[in-house]
Amino acid sequence: MTHPPHETIIDAHLHVWDPSRGVYPWLGPHLAPIDRAMALPEVTPALADHGVGAAVLVQSADDDFDTELMLETARADRRIVGVVGYVPLHQPSVAADRLARLRDDPLFVGVRNLIHERDDPAWILRPDVDAGLGMLEEAGVPFDFVAAGPAALGTAAEVARRHPGLHLVLDHLGAPPLRTGLDHAEQWSQHLEFLAGCPRVYAKLSGLYLGDDPTGEALRRLGSHLRTALRLFGSERLMYGGDWPICLLHESYGRTLGLVRQVLPDLDPAAWRDVLAGTATRVYGIDPGRVKATGS
């Protein structure tokens, strides 16, 4: 069994938020443990405990205030090596102006919209939004795609088909089914196989929660899904993400990292470097010097 090399690990999917700065429509009392401001100092001890020396912040609200909060956090802490922010893709002219300003900041590395919170599951395929994606494609700016299940992963496949030059990052591995039936698993695998055939599609090993698993069935399914992803994408198109603080609704920080190490025990050192830092660095265009500085 090989182990990851002792180099800086990048968590490619971390959140911060502050309800005093603006509205997070999805946040509320039903998420009591995290229904408050969640700031970077709360997670930094856990990052250190698990050998994570750098992180990419990912948007939590479809609003500029959220992006500004992340950029402020990044400027104040050198462990943050990139910010995936928001631009209104459904308003291409507004998005173009906002994107131009964001690209002047070396910490800005990508765009995300909360498409999984939209009432219309095909919102991302609308002509106006499609034009926004075309703008990202032309600019070479990665787009994080949140898929809430196999059907949404099919929508991601359509986005990749329409925009072959877009760097598309699948958050949470496209939500592989860990407890649903075989049909869902086959649908997920088929969509993932198509997406893996698109050379500019990447996937995050994040948001993979087993929950109560007394029989170990969810763990077995997760292992199968991760091995499928590795076979289809190769290590050079996979990256680790801890999904803090969402992870606190399910488990303590670091459980996902431990699972990845557990179910992919035979990766060689070069492959571990891809999953734990290299892929995120390449896809998001992160300054390697900034990553190196986090460990100094």
Over its C-alpha atoms, the chain yields an Rg (Å, rounded) of 18
Extents of the domains making up the chain: 9-291
pTM here is 0.95
Q: Which two tokens stand for residue 280?
A: 């995120």
Q: Is the pLDDT of residue 232 over 80?
A: yes
1-12 pLDDT tens trace = 344 445 789 999
Domain 9-291 superfamily per CATH: Metal-dependent hydrolases (3.20.20.140)
* CA-based torsion, 20, 66, 46, 219: positive or negative: positive
Of the pLDDT bands very low, low, confident and very high (cuts 50, 70, 90), residue 184 is confident
Residues in the chain: 296
Strand order in the sheet with 80-85: 9-14, 52-58, 80-85, 108-112, 143-146, 168-171, 201-205, 238-240
Cβ–Cβ < 8 Å for 208, 259: yes
Quote the CA–CA distance of 271 and 86 in Å, as a whole number: 31
Q: What's the pLDDT score for residue 180?
A: 66
- Integer Cα distance of 121 and 115 in angstroms: 8
Chain mean pLDDT for the chain: 93
Residues 17-73 pLDDT 10s: 999 999 999 999 999 999 999 999 999 999 999 999 999 999 999 999 999 999 999
pLDDT score recorded for residue 286: 95
* The predicted structure's pLDDT at residue 4: 45
Locus of tokens 């035979």: 266
pLDDT single digits (tens) 125-149? 999 999 999 999 999 999 999 988 7
